[in-house]
Amino acid sequence: MKPYQQIPIAECNEPLVPIPVEYFAFETPHPYQKLGAPYHNSKADSPYYLRQGVVGSLIAAQKHLQQDYPDWKILIFDAYRPVEVQQFMVDYTFAEIAKAQGCKFPISEDQKQEILEKVYQFWAVPSLDRAIPPPHSTGAALDVSLVNKNQQPIDMGSAIDEISERSYPDYFSNSNESQQQEYHRHRQILKNAMLAAGFQQHPNEWWHFCLGDQMWAWLTNQQQKTSQVIARYGRC
């Protein structure tokens, strides 16, 4: 169990709503749908759904971004993710790592545990336990980046979902190389816009932000030791 999963959830029953297309750019076709992820059993008819209050905050983040970068948009890579899709992506990532390492099947128990350790550093366990939902399955977490006025991606120095230390938000912060300093600056622009709207950032992923779920509550409580908050969004 990860530390944030100990946070209690007081479900507010806010609905999932579509992310409005007029404010944002979208990763299309959706990367996990291309792989065959099972969204057809989902409560939402696309991955681009969030809780209603989270959508409102996301619009606020976009407006904050445009104060300094009027032609830029937040790029929505992924949002609501049913547990079935979470399981699919964990299995897919496991298989990709095993293949890259040249593992022979059946994989030994030691190799399996070693690979799962890498997978779960970046992917939440696809649990059906309502007390410990995967963050994206709450409709309160999303993966985002930035695009410029020509809809071209802003280079963040690593791809979303890359399983390496380069994914850590501050990985390039102490670099003396100008290109890497630029990557860090881009990450900070995204982070500042999202945090200004009330989101929290995943400690290991520059692209993952959340608001109102267990991770958000846990991160918020790390910053304000006085009053403690709990999660208001559980699994959809």
Reported in sequence order, the residue ranges of 34-154 that DSSP labels E, i.e. its strands, are 49-51, 73-78, 141-147
Give the tens place of pLDDT for each residue, 114-160.
999 999 988 999 999 999 999 999 999 999 999 999 999 999 999 99
**For residue 42, what pLDDT band results from cuts at 50, 70 and 90?**
low
Q: Catalytic pick from 22, 27, 96, 205?
A: 205
Enumerate the β-bridge partners of residue 180. Answer: none
Average pLDDT, the chain: 94
Question: What is the residue extent of each domain of the chain?
Answer: 3-81+138-223
pLDDT at 41: 67
Question: Minimal CA–CA distance to 14: which of 138, 127, 106, 191?
Answer: 138
Question: Is the confidence at residue 226, as pLDDT, over 90?
Answer: no
Enumerate the β-bridge partners of residue 208. Answer: 143
Give the tens place of pLDDT for each residue, 54-107.
999 999 999 999 999 999 999 999 999 999 999 999 999 999 999 998 888 788
Q: Which has more confidence, 25 or 103?
A: 25
Question: 141-147 and 49-51 as β-strands: parallel, antiparallel, unpaired?
Answer: unpaired
Has 117 been annotated as catalytic? Answer: no
pTM of this structure: 0.94
State the CATH architecture for 3-81+138-223. Answer: 2-Layer Sandwich (3.30)
What three-state secondary structure class fits 17? strand
pLDDT at 184: 98
Distance in angstroms (rounded) separating the CA atoms of residues 68 and 199:
19
